[in-house]
Amino acid sequence: MTLTPAQFVAKWQHTEQKETALAQSHFNDICALVGHADPITADPKGAFFSFEASTIKTGGQKGRADVFYQGKFIWEYKGPHADLGKAYQQLLLYREELGNPPLLITSDIHTIIIHTNFTNRPKRTHEISFERLRDGDGLALLQRVFYNPESFQPEQTKQAITKASADTFVTVADALKQHRALMQETYSDEQLAHFLVRLLFCLFAEDLNLLPNNIFTKIVQAQGRNYVNLQEPLEALFRVMRDGGQFGIDRIRYFDGTLFDDAFVPSISDDLGRALLRVADQDWSAIDPAIFGTLFERIIDESKRAQLGAHYTSQDDINLIVEPVLMHPLRAEWEAVRLACVRQPQDAPAKLAEFSDKLAGTRVLDPACGSGNFLYVALQKLLDLQKEVIVFAERHGHPSLALTVSPQQLYGLEINPYAHELAQITAWIGYLQWRAQNGFEEMDDPVLRPLGNIQRMDAILAYDEAGQPMEPAWPPAEVIIGNPPFLGGYKIRQELGDAYTDHLLWLYGGRVPGSADLVCYWFEKARIYMENERAQRVGLIATNSIRGGANREVLKRIKTSGDIFMAWSDNSWVLDGAAVRVSIIGFDSGSQQVKTFNGTPALSINSDLTATIDITGATSLAENKNLSFQGVMKGGPFDIDETLARKMLASQNGSGLSNQDVLKRIYNGLDITRRPRNKWVIDFEMRDLDTAVLYTEPYEYILTHVKPIRDEQRRKRRRDNWWLFGEPSPGVRRCIKRGARYVAISSVSKHFILRWLSSDIIPDKALIVFCRDDDYFFGVLHSTLHERWSRRMGTWLGKGNDPRYTPTTSFETFPFPWPPGEESSDSPLVQAIATAASDLNAWREAWLNPSSAAEAGTINVTYDKMLKQRTLTNLYNGLVYYRTHAGPAFVAADFNKETRRAVTRTEIERLHDLHRILDTAVCDAYGWPHAILQDEEQILTNLLALNQARAG
């Protein structure tokens, strides 16, 4: 049987009988209308399409969904003219029980309302009346319900809508700030932030019907074009929202929550009024709280305005912390409680109430909470789990449980006033939105509750009444999560000042190394809280440099007092709009036995965030001391180009001194891995000012270009000795003068490449240098054995996540075949290494600098252009590709463009062979089989054993 829209309307438009008498007959006619078999015909067993699917009704009684079509919709009927809003709430409550289909549909026979239910998409509704069915697109909509429910999915994600809302709100913030400057108003930035957040909340509350009748928008519209009069009605609205009461003909609920603790409204300009009208057109009920705070913090805080178009931390990223640290133990406990309730139903009410209370009592602390996105995601997860408990209790006929998880379980510390302001309201917006989207009735007044547990304060340094530095108290919490600020140890002083840095170093002395990154202080403080049983589990994010060097010491302390149960050693992250590499670390007292590393099970996780052999116990060897140093730190623009250097070298000084004394070539990492930049440096070494003056042109250059910068330095030594490099660096200066040449490596580089440099070249701070000039030493350093060791002992930096080499962890712990200086130059083993190293270096240098393009085998390319392409980076790019695509799969054309132009397969194979010859010679010196070169774990095991034997 089929029906036309006109026939359907004629049959049903005058029907007024009860729901129970009408629902199934009405739905069967819907099926006939769209040409689809009814549930009994399509699915006689009711496996996927049925009437009366078992579920839960709001209020606690067991019930049935009127119609269920798996993967498509749930359909709830009410009698004619009934409240379909309540029917929709029922659907929201039990949608998970029926697989969370894409459409939730309600009908009172006269009207059909289609509600979309797509994850991470805004909610949309389509209402079909008899008129729309007979004369419009109603039939087409119903056909899509049955045959193509995915077509109802909104194009924009919640994140896209939130981003668009943020973009429109920029004009509001800008108009307000411009008006403040123009009118010379004196209200504070804190008042400005508070007012803007109030505006945001009013827009949200209006679209979620917490404010009645679009009242906020109507207030703005009522001003016509005379927006200067907007100040008074907004003040009046804020005052009523604070305590509740009558506003014209509308009853305003009691909001409280400190958001409306005053009624401050700045004077309003026409531009601001027009901007407010534009933002009111957005759907603020659909914003995504997980990114809401971050986006609007960037709007309010001009220092972060450049990041508006940047990426934000997504909820998926935040879940890498929240799920394993907060939720996994709770979910495991819930599974045990649920099974116990099934087996022993007489005990279920008490068990369910106890577990529900535990969820509501779980406190979550973010000690660097920013605008609250981590806290919101944690709250959402706790709410989702408590909803499962509530539905389970109702489904099994146990006493109803209340929704008691709330934002008041969230604790945060944040020093930025804008972020602090937003964090407080982000949690409440997310909570109110969650309630509305999950079928729970509106909560009793006040709508907002005070969130004093999100405090504006410094999380790692405070001062007592006498002004003495002290550790600030964190509130106790079961779980600590967060994303503390990333600031390299070498930047702390220049960013935070001498006094702050000195107090920090004094306060955490002996626990956090002085050169550690700022984030390490959060790790140590969280560890102390866990050790003192003021927290149970911790999950924090750091740059991936926490795996090595001084930073690693805080992870060692964590493993001493507890253990790491979860880690992502090297993950992509977005910080302030820039891609960075991070480590994600979860730790506890050692109670969790199941561990995960990079998303897979692991037996243990080491303090260097590896899950294999732990070499972090390696110690510095006395035999390696004073053989490796970081290059010089200039502390100012002492560099000059070659043209100016040549000019100064040719000039004469009245003193008779030669400028050659103080003009040197200088190399940094790029000079090692690419082509020399031909940079020079004016280096007075330790000459006093009276002597420096005698070098006329170099001195005049430093006086003009360096002194003004040094005069602004906080450090007295740098101000007073403005003509000298920032650090005297006596060790590295002695090092490079020991012989005619020295070995250097870039401290941060994609590839492990060592070069010989002439002793008249100054190494920049970006280089690590070694105080030997013999080929044997160069060969051992350039071996795969030393490369594997240094990469595990070092750290990683930069967007490219490049390995970082340090004199302490990478070199001083490395055991040579013989302690340096004790090897015999007459030994065939030593000579074999020296020969292999010399051959490798000679071949590379010849490849870098052929006498002509023709000799290099390059056709139709100028010599200069050919040289630009001949870099060790391109050469070793080819080597890495060759080693990972060896055999028939290797095709030179698969290289990146620059490498393909610069290097041939034959050249790469030759480089590979030279390195293998060197590696086997080094293995022979250790007395280890050549096969060890294919087994990194065995290399590290052997080297660790040798390190410990030497240290012992």
- Residue partners of 927: CB distance under 8 A and separation at least 6: none
As averages over each run of 10 residues, the pLDDT of the chain (952 residues) reads 88 77 87 92 88 58 74 89 83 81 91 88 88 91 93 81 76 83 85 84 87 89 77 91 90 84 86 83 78 70 55 77 95 93 93 97 94 92 94 88 94 87 83 86 82 89 93 95 88 88 93 92 95 94 87 93 93 67 92 89 88 86 94 92 93 92 93 91 93 94 93 86 89 90 91 94 94 96 95 69 83 95 94 96 91 66 79 89 65 55 82 94 95 90 94 84
CA pair distance 513, 583, nearest whole angstrom = 19
Q: For position 207, what pLDDT does the model report?
A: 86
Pairing of strands 364-366, 250-252: unpaired
Assign 513 to helix, strand or coil. coil
CA–CA distances in Å: residue 760 to residues 670, 685, 757: 18, 13, 8
CA pair distance 624, 387, nearest whole angstrom = 61
- Residue partners of 945: CB distance under 8 A and separation at least 6: none
Question: How far out from the chain centre does Cα 61 lie?
Answer: 44
How many beta carbons lie within 10 A of that of residue 231, not counting itself?
Answer: 14
CA pair distance 690, 385, nearest whole angstrom = 75
Q: Are 440 and 403 in contact (CB under 8 A)?
A: yes
CA pair distance 782, 57, nearest whole angstrom = 71
The per-residue b/e assignment along 779-791, b for 16 or more CB within 10 angstroms, e otherwise, is bbbbbbbbbbbbb
CA pair distance 628, 903, nearest whole angstrom = 32
Q: At what angle do helices 270-280 and 158-183 cross, to 10 degrees?
A: 170
∠ CA 186-192-198, nearest 5°, is: 145
Closest CA to 67 of 152, 10, 129, 146: 146
Q: For position 888, what pLDDT does the model report?
A: 46
Burial of 480 (0-12, 13-18, 19+ CB in 10 A): buried
Q: For position 478, what pLDDT does the model report?
A: 96
- Phi/psi of residue 54, nearest 5 degrees: -65, 130
Instruction: Report pTM.
Output: 0.73
CA pair distance 517, 514, nearest whole angstrom = 9
Closest CA to 416 of 189, 568, 606: 189
For 618, how many CA atoms within 13 A lie in the half-sphere containing its CB? 31
CA pair distance 351, 386, nearest whole angstrom = 13
